[in-house]
Amino acid sequence: MQVTPLTGRLGAEVFDVDLSKPLDVVTLRNIEMAFADHSVLCFRDQSLDVDQFEAFALQFGTFGDTPFITPIDGHPNVLRLLRRADEQGPLFGSGWHSDWSFQASPPSATLLYGVDIPASGGDTAFISQELAYEALSAPMQQLLGGLQGVHSARRSYGPKGTFGQANPQRSMEIIGDESALRTTCHPLIRTHPITGRKSLFVNEVYTIGIEGMHDAEAKALLDFLFNHSRRIDFSCRVRWQQGSLTMWDNRCVQHYAIDDYFGHRREMLRITLAGEPPV
């Protein structure tokens, strides 16, 4: 197995490993260590069916809960992220975010597999929130360490959200409802349960406030953190190829799906793995 960093601090490509078969103990351990080091791993040149994709994911944890989106028939933990060549409207996954941060226990990791990939376009960008935390001043780190962010799915899946209304023109069946209005609080700074590293834990899609603060106060601080968290020097970018599988650590990474492939069909499979309450 060959691991090649994508940047100096975030992300790596992985070659010469076959994910269609169960991993031996040494290979699994090497992947786990690479994942801890790089937070984003892109495995190239894979050929997986849905069962093999699930089997690979389960070597790293259990399936997470996936609300609002209808999964693949017979595979309740796998989503088909499909966009037709002529499809318009909001792109699923656009906007900087960490997956399902509105849940009490957000996913530990997300896995995305490329089934039908445009010749160009549709990259996924990633931002390290560990680097974002490290770049904050000591007084700001101390301030944030005592605060809780308020997270909600309302902007995306609430009745007035981006995907809150049924749309027969949309390839994916996304069904928003009143449950998206619920809120959950998480620390603005969380500690990784495996590496012990600290990271910023806010995102512009799901973080809607700060517990105990007036809206104007929270907005000023969150706007600063949103801008700070996506600095280019914290980032890497995965260019998709047919048969690429990318997994990222949702506890310390934000991501953004780039919408620049109109006129080309794109199909991906997605799995999230169960996480733990952020602390």
Catalytically annotated residues: 97, 99, 255, 270
As given in the structure block, the two tokens for residue 54 are 């699930």
**What are the φ and ψ backbone dihedral angles of 125, each rounded to 5 degrees?**
-100, 150
Classify 217 as helix, strand or coil: helix
Please give the distance of CA 208 from its chain centroid, rounded to a whole number: 18
**Dihedral class, residue 253 (left if φ above 0, else alpha if ψ from -120 to 50, else beta):** beta
Q: Which amino acid would we find at residue 192?
A: H
CA-derived radius of gyration, the chain: 18
**For residue 4, with 0-12 CB atoms within 10 Å meaning exposed, 13-18 middle and 19 or more buried, which class applies?**
exposed
Q: Count other C-beta atoms under 10 Å from residue 260's C-beta.
A: 11
Asked whether the beta carbons of 15 and 2 are under 8 A apart, the reply is yes
Please give the distance of CA 199 from its chain centroid, rounded to a whole number: 15
